[in-house]
Amino acid sequence: MTDHEGRGASDRPVYAVEPWCVREPELRLDRLAQGESVFALSNGHLGLRGNLDEGEPHGLPGSYLNSFFEQRPLPYAEAGYGYPESGQTVINVTNGKLIRLLVDDEPFDVRYGRLHEHERVLDLRAGTLTRRVEWTSPAGCRVRISSVRLVSLTQRAVAAIRYEVEPVDRPLRVVAQSELVANESLPDLGDDPRVAAALESPLVGEEHVHNGTKVILVHRTRRSGLRMAAGMSHEIDGPGRTAVDAESSPDVGRMTVATELEPGQRLRIVKYLAYGWSSQRSRPALHDQVVAALAAARHTGWEGLLEQQREYLDDFWRGADVEVDGDAEVQQAVRFGLFHILQAGARAERRMIPAKGLTGPGYDGHTFWDTETFVLPVLTYTHPDSAADALAWRHMTLPMARERAHQLGLAGAAFPWRTIRGQECSGYWPAGTAAFHINADIADAVVRYVDATRDERFECEVGLPLLVETARLWRDLGHHDVEGVFRIDGVTGPDEYSAVVDNNVYTNLMARRNLQEAAAMAMRHPDLAERLGVSTEEAASWRNAAAAMLVPYDQRLRVHPQSEGFTNHSKWDFAATKPDHYPLLLNYPYFDLYRKQVIKQADLVLAMHLCGEAFTPDQKRRNFDYYEGLTVRDSSLSAQTQAVMAAEVGQLDLAHDYLGETALMDLHDLARNTRDGLHIASMAGAWSGLVAGFGGMRAADGCLAFAPRLPGGISRLAFRLRYRHNRIRVTVRAENAVYELMEGPGIKIRHHGDEFTLGDEPAERPIPALTALPRPAQPPGREPVPRRTDPHLRETEGPPGADSLSSPG
């Protein structure tokens, strides 16, 4: 994936730094689209961008249903065998957020009249977005408006809004219009007219009905053949002479409330929303599904929905919270990230977790390998059911992955690099065809989940078929050379500035694990493996390929080349590269990038994180130093991996710098494209940088291992994990770490190599001293912004405003 805009920072903070919420104390129209992403609410099935209730002004309107998409053409200058013929793009579905307000016939619009107060708060414990406004119309009518919005984490199809209006100093006529609107006008959709045509009014009306305060709209897509229904129902509390009227048309449903308010009186509207979609169910079935969801929501009631939301999140935070003393911005950011990661997967229920979640249309709403590699580790140890659902969705797409492998002349399954429904949607063939590492990324996520949960049913029904089919692809894709070494040639690894290379170390190591684990799982379940056609000979061939896997090593430089021959390439001329020429892919031909030593995002360094057992501590230090000098971070996926490995090799302050970059990607809009949606994988990096980085957390074979150490800027770190029916809390200070079993039967812990069993009593262990090492250099101008406030450090290690990043990649 590629972000197409460079790094930047707002001239002044948009959000107050608070530990349990994101507060916007004033409305910033210049940052409106960013706020719509930051304040988005979702449950993995339904996502609502944080647009203003009245709909205008807006940066980018957005309401999304997971995996609800329209097809669009994929243009090619020249056709080629195996190229995908059509793409899939998430579409803005029927907008139910709208509540327009007229005060004495004057529309409420923050761009007119006088805005005395405007505050929005995303509450990370309540799961709500609250807005408070005091406004005087151009005619001098002053009103207070408040709204609270939620997308239910307990009732999958449901969202709700409580909207209140009251006059400040004199009687007012008030009219509120609560609406459902399909086929909203959107901002510029890009330069390709075919894409614009596909997404212009993508919904075709099939039904519109209204009854009392309830409205239902049913639509289908023009090309992809999907059907959706949206409904709204209301509870109204106002003075006795309040009038209510409802109407509907194919693309608009409207309920109008008119009343007169004296000072001290209030109009309150509770709006319940319900959404459903299907590729198979009939129009009447979807209609009835939405009616039922509305009935359930009204039965629960507004206060009930709030209570359920709080209970759900209380349970989540009991097993997921991270506390950071010494860096208030990172403290806020890691909780903000955990909240949005939960929202992205909580109720996805066998559908994908997109790269932007359901917060915006970036990357066309696609999922990539980032989900399995960066997001699922967080969910596996904090909300494992969501990790299982995401992998179950991959299992559901196995037939399409097998078909893709067959098209490419390979055995097994070839999972797509980017997709919504399971078909490959990338027109960039070095990734869409050659980035086979997605197979091993999925297998790695399966192995991690099974280890963390001991979910045998999942292992048998989902895990084993995924591991078998991915192993079959590796065995067919690679080959034993004349010396018996197993090679995997012509692939693209995580670094997109290198493509179609031989024996990418990350790919080979992850494929080796895939092959080993597939053979081991088949051995644990021989009857099931036999049903999948796995013979003793086939499993043995997997083990043989894994044992003979080539892992290139440069004896001259004493480092691992990213891929075979990589360290023989000439190095990129970083000194001659202007700051405004980053990201490089927008200013230089890929051909030039491919044949130089320059790295978009962590690749070999990512291999050291995920396959750490394949490297000695000395190799990790040398590799890390070498690749620091080549990595330009034109991808937001990179900083989190560099944070984790910097911490492991003892570069704690550098790790803190990278942690800040990944954690604040969206709150500070570092890539200047948060308007298109949040970077879910980058937000996962805040958790990884703290837990896997400074906590040194690794897990395998029923044991949690920790090697905690803190940088100078953090005085205490505490985090909670779920592992094998245990809930544990780890507290790290400079001199020691304390391990506590909060719930569960007990667990085996390894602390800096020393193993013990954690039971009812907390265990305190000292942290060994660390030998200081010289700090490695980054390419000029690509240094991370320092987290510490030492002015000498800022002067010598790079200016805070240095353009050193771009985006997910």
Task: Count CB neighbours of 657 within 10 A.
Answer: 25
Q: What is the DSSP letter of 115?
A: E
Torsion angle (degrees, nearest 10) of CA 484, 485, 489, 495: 170
Q: What is the DSSP letter of 768?
A: P
What type of residue sits at position 772?
A
Q: What is the DSSP letter of 775?
A: P
Alpha carbon distance 675, 669 (integer Å) = 9
Strand order in the sheet with 21-24: 16-17, 21-24, 114-123, 128-136, 142-151, 158-167, 267-278, 227-237, 214-221, 203-211
Residues designated catalytic: 496
Q: Tokens 């992809």 identify what position?
A: 224
In terms of DSSP bridges, do strands 41-42 and 46-48 run parallel, antiparallel, or are they unpaired?
antiparallel
The dihedral of CA 85, 90, 93, 98: what is its sign? Answer: negative
Residues in the chain: 809
- The angle, 0 to 180 degrees and rounded to 10, between the axes of the packed helices 328-345 and 680-687 is 130
Query: Which whole-number Å values give the CA distances from 701 to 443, 509, 585, in the listed order?
Result: 16, 18, 41
443: nearest Cα among 471, 422, 421: 471
- Within 13 Å of residue 135, how many CA atoms lie on the same side as its CB? 24
Query: Which whole-number Å values give the CA distances from 785 to 254, 504, 705, 789, 805, in the listed order?
Result: 50, 30, 30, 11, 10
Alpha carbon distance 172, 105 (integer Å) = 10
Q: What is the DSSP letter of 250?
A: T
Per the annotation, does 600 bind a ligand? Answer: yes
Query: Which whole-number Å values give the CA distances from 486 to 354, 499, 611, in the listed order?
Result: 34, 20, 18
Query: Which whole-number Å values give the CA distances from 83 to 2, 126, 452, in the listed order?
Result: 20, 46, 38
Per the annotation, does 277 bind a ligand? Answer: no
DSSP string, 80-96: -TT--SEEEEE----B-
Q: Tokens 């065809």 identify what position?
A: 433
Residue 479 φ then ψ, to 5°: -155, 155
Question: What are the structure tokens assigned to 763, written together?
Answer: 């265990």
Question: What are the structure tokens assigned to 660, written together?
Answer: 């800040």
Alpha carbon distance 44, 405 (integer Å) = 29
Please classify residue 361 by burial: count the beta carbons closer than 10 Å to its beta carbon, then call 0-12 exposed, 13-18 middle and 19+ buried.
buried
Alpha carbon distance 95, 113 (integer Å) = 26
**Three-state SS sequence of 530-590:** HHCCCCHHHHHHHHHHHHCECCCCECCCCECCCCCCHHHCEECCCCCCCHHHCCHHHCCCH
Per the annotation, does 596 bind a ligand? Answer: no
Query: Looking at the DSSP assignment, which residues form a beta bridge with residue 280?
Result: none
Q: What is the DSSP letter of 776?
A: P
Alpha carbon distance 726, 745 (integer Å) = 7
Largest distance between two CA atoms of the chain: 91
* Element at 458 (helix H, strand E): helix 456-458
Answer whether 210's CB lies under 8 Å from 290's CB.
Answer: no
Alpha carbon distance 680, 686 (integer Å) = 10
